[in-house]
Structure 1
């Protein structure tokens, strides 16, 4: 038998191919995908699952959204590639103009790339070029990517093991994680000390050569951590006081995820550079960074480039994604996000193992804990990653629901569904989560 002879498509067959032919870095949710539509996916054995993770917050307007698919198909019939930085074309021009319209403040000019990691790398290069400085402050627990540059910004050793040295001139400050914050432990709410800590880090760990402070407005991989209302504005002021730029990483929070087009809009802050990816083209590979004309024009010809960045097919898909978001999906996200937040709060009040629920829009986290043991530094109950893993498995195997498990301590259940999810589907998910918690405690 030829090794290339077609074989029956099964979950096991696809996973075997992954094991044999892909580098061993993939992490499986144990649901190989054959097809998907809306908020559901189907494996090769015909089992259908409700997806409330959407490929880590990517398919924001639903799997296989008709508008997005048709826009991509139409562009495929015209041309597929011309390198957008060599051959100007309409999809790229139209998308850049549209992003200038939907981003806050004076953000105007965009560079297109292929991923969030590339967007972050480009943002740091641009900040360095504009300011003439080199140092960057990022946050503990942050995630900004896995290349050596973006990995240096990421504040979690789990991603860095065996990968140092990364780029130099990066230091980290405290995250706005009030649930496990030493300064907030004996207070009723956030004290804002984490913002003050950034100033202290600059004064003690840098050489007065600060180019940028980079933050996520809501920390995704860190565990759906939402800062206090004035935190982002305080960080912006610290950056500007030191002649640096504020880079807001909206790779995971952008394109409607939190109920606004950008999470930074919740805090009434206009960043100097805004990075984007994930939901930007609803699953097609595209990333971007957008800045004011003054900042953007510090890049000259050859300072930065991407052969495939701004592919016309993905840009056409992105335009259709934005249309869909503005045609009712943002309103739906706000309404359903409020309902979900209230419903998850009921779980927090009812179950001791639910330490905290938090989030904005349809980006919500449920932190699971061991209430019998004190957590790190004696603050809050200990994180329970084993319970979170068991709950995730129970949801998948017993309820056919795909939910992400993450957070710095790997103990946070992550609600990041397609923004088109129905109330009925959300109710099913929360009811199933409650059943999974009951079954594993």
Structure 2
């Protein structure tokens, strides 16, 4: 199949590379000429384990190419995937569909043959109807089927998620569109149960509902962690105890500083706005958004309390800046709120992240970036683990303690056990470990 991917961001680039690896002929289109030139030189715009090698392999095999020419890219395509950004609209939280609508207009103008137009971007219910309307307006004689195919890729594990998915949701009831989508995903037929065909609006809502539910699990266990601290329980054992119930499951039950990233914050807001537009209350999701926002701000206060006194002029080391490990994504990362709170209180912040320095430097002011965890600890009055990178899981704690001015470890991801930290000469503060 000939596939065109509009957008070379996280979803577009990973999806395009994986489709090419399936054996399809894929063209990735982006307006950013500098990004396309970098991709042609093998330079990735994002960090994702294995992506650089996957792209290189398929470029060498001539199954994957990059261009700024949308018209040429669309002309011979059997399917065109829209994988552009849908950020929260400034001021009201609605998903900003400007990029989707603009891409649709350009695609419609470039159509030369019957084509399936696939919305891969995360979009509100009813977006496919608007995409269909725009195509009919711009190219009334074109033969095109509009399909919803939401992505469920976890940053840091996106390639494995794409190639071994737990489900592939395809929103269309048209037999011709179904046939094309089946051909595209045929390499997954060994896992045939992964393919799920639904109505288009149902597919659009599945993505938002899934992310809202996962965000709810995270927020729930974070509130239970607060209760654990007061009553003297250990949230790690509570999580394990309830997660062993297969009706609940253990995933997304790890207490921490709150969720962030490119999906959960904007998708929960967009779901709220969709529900509001249709006068349907979704109070649980509303509470999740409010609690998570409050939690990220509260993490700074937690560190300041652990330091026990006026933090002005004192040094705080921060380990991990990205919203999760194995990515360079800083969008809505808990570290942003934490560092702002520390700086507002007068603390001096030094930080290290294995992949996030470049992005973090654009979003943080007056932060000193160090070359490793031990440099962060040097002379610090507190060391805070914010992101659970593997590089932070087996630190030489005695070396850390010796390097610090005040040996205090605030573990916002519960990476370590209190007894091991205290045995190394550090005072320990975790999350929900009363």
Q: TM-score range by the shorter chain?
A: 0.3 to 0.5
TM-score, normalization by structure 1: 0.32
Q: Which has the larger radius of gyration?
A: 2
Which has a greater percent of helix? 2
